[in-house]
Amino acid sequence: MSQPAALPLPVARSVASLRQTVADWRKAGLRIGFVPTMGALHAGHLSLVERAKERADRVVVSIFVNPTQFGPSEDFSKYPRQEASDAARLAAFGVDLLYSPSVAEMYPAGAATTVSVGIVTERLEGVFRPTHFDGVATVVAKLLNQVQPHVAVFGEKDYQQLLVVKRLVSDLDIDSEIVPGPTVREADGLAMSSRNAYLSDEDRAIAASLPATLNFVATQLRSGVDAAPILEAGRIRLMKAGFREVQYLDLADASTLAPLERADRPARLLVAALVGATRLIDNMAV
């Protein structure tokens, strides 16, 4: 029987082997940084690794396509999986350990606990992906408990997720600092995302209008005017550019995500829209 090719960096596939490595680092007094991902790595992920490296002596990256955060009609089975090329990029970036557990290791038979974060999960993504944040919160709580990092880095591209993770860590007294990483964009402004790989050339051209529209809307909202007509103009602009559906384009308080009528305090503009069969999200400070 042929053996799978060895990966170019140490890999832990079980909670026990992960714990052994991080316990040794702790005993040696080293600071541990952590970047959780679902793989199909791009420069956005690597920017989070860079931030973790600046703040820690050893960095763990997890790759786990978490089934519990996908809805029944979402893309769990087709989500890109490319562990060998991801591992090569992580090794070249000086990551110390890849943590890549199986679904059975993460959710052994009999697992019956779900972590559910209130209020901040209710709007925006929570409306269109009603089971999503329970899945994210449960797996992030488990990952942070398994790695016990001093610092963990999460991208602002998933802005609501970042707030959910901060709430979770505060509410459950998890002893890890959560550090945000700014959104890394393609040359035309499109936020890097593993799901961009789904886009046809035609859809990719349409997708570029998402950050352009966010910029256009955010610029006007910064003057403190009534948001409703500007948000509506933004939605129309996206549909005219070729988006199939704009699920939301909303202005929200930057720390609670409560809806705002105008940007009279730190605010965030957030969008989710479908181009062809692909769902894209993005956000911007206002």
Ligand X SMILES: Nc1ncnc2c1ncn2[C@@H]1O[C@H](COP(=O)(O)OP(=O)(O)OP(=O)(O)O)[C@@H](O)[C@H]1O
Ligand Y SMILES: CC(C)(CO)[C@@H](O)C(=O)[O-]
Cα–Cα dist 99/161, whole Å: 21
Binding residue for ligand X, selected from 33, 181, 211, 234, defined by CB under 6 A: 181
Annotated binding site for (R)-pantoate: 69, 161
If phi > 0 it is left, if psi is from -120 to 50 it is alpha, else beta; for residue 189 that is left
Rounded to the nearest 5 percent, the helix, strand and coil shares of the chain are 45, 20, 40
Binding residue for ligand X, selected from 117, 184, 199, 214, defined by CB under 6 A: 184
Which of ligand X, ligand Y, ligand BAL, none does residue 139 bind to, with CB < 5 to 8 Å depending on kind? ligand Y
- How far is the CA of 198 from the CAs of 112, 156, 186, 256, in angstroms? 33, 21, 16, 32
Least gap, CB of 44 to ligand Y (angstroms): 10
Query: Restricting to residues 143-202, which ones interact with ligand BAL according to CB under 6 A?
Result: 158, 161
Query: Rule CB under 6 A: is residue 68 a binding residue for ligand BAL?
Result: no
Least gap, CB of 111 to ligand Y (angstroms): 15
Residue 45 catalytic? yes
Q: Which is nearer to ligand X, 191 or 267 (CB)?
A: 191
Least gap, CB of 39 to ligand BAL (angstroms): 11
Query: Rule CB under 6 A: is residue 195 a binding residue for ligand X?
Result: yes
Binding site residues, ligand Y, CB under 6 A: 36-38, 66, 69, 136, 139-140, 158, 161
Cα–Cα dist 19/209, whole Å: 45
Contact partners, residue 226, CB within 8 Å, separation at least 6? 261, 262
- How far is the CA of 179 from the CAs of 26, 69, 163, 227, in angstroms? 20, 22, 11, 30
Cα–Cα dist 262/285, whole Å: 13
Q: Which is nearer to ligand BAL, 161 or 278 (CB)?
A: 161
Cα–Cα dist 122/125, whole Å: 8
Adjacent-strand bridge partners of 268: 252, 285
Query: Rule CB under 6 A: is residue 69 a binding residue for ligand BAL?
Result: yes
DSSP conformation class of 272: E
Query: Rule CB under 6 A: is residue 139 a binding residue for ligand X?
Result: no
Least gap, CB of 174 to ligand Y (angstroms): 14
Least gap, CB of 158 to ligand Y (angstroms): 5
Q: Which of 45, 129, 132, 268 is catalytic?
A: 45
Give the largest CA-CA distance in the chain.
Answer: 67
Q: Which is nearer to ligand X, 103 or 225 (CB)?
A: 103
Which of ligand BAL, ligand Y, ligand X, none does residue 184 bind to, with CB < 5 to 8 Å depending on kind? ligand X
**Residues binding ligand BAL (CB under 6 A):** 69, 158, 161
**Residues binding ligand X (CB under 6 A):** 37-38, 44-45, 47-48, 154-155, 157-158, 181, 183-184, 191-195
Tell me the catalytic residues. Answer: 45
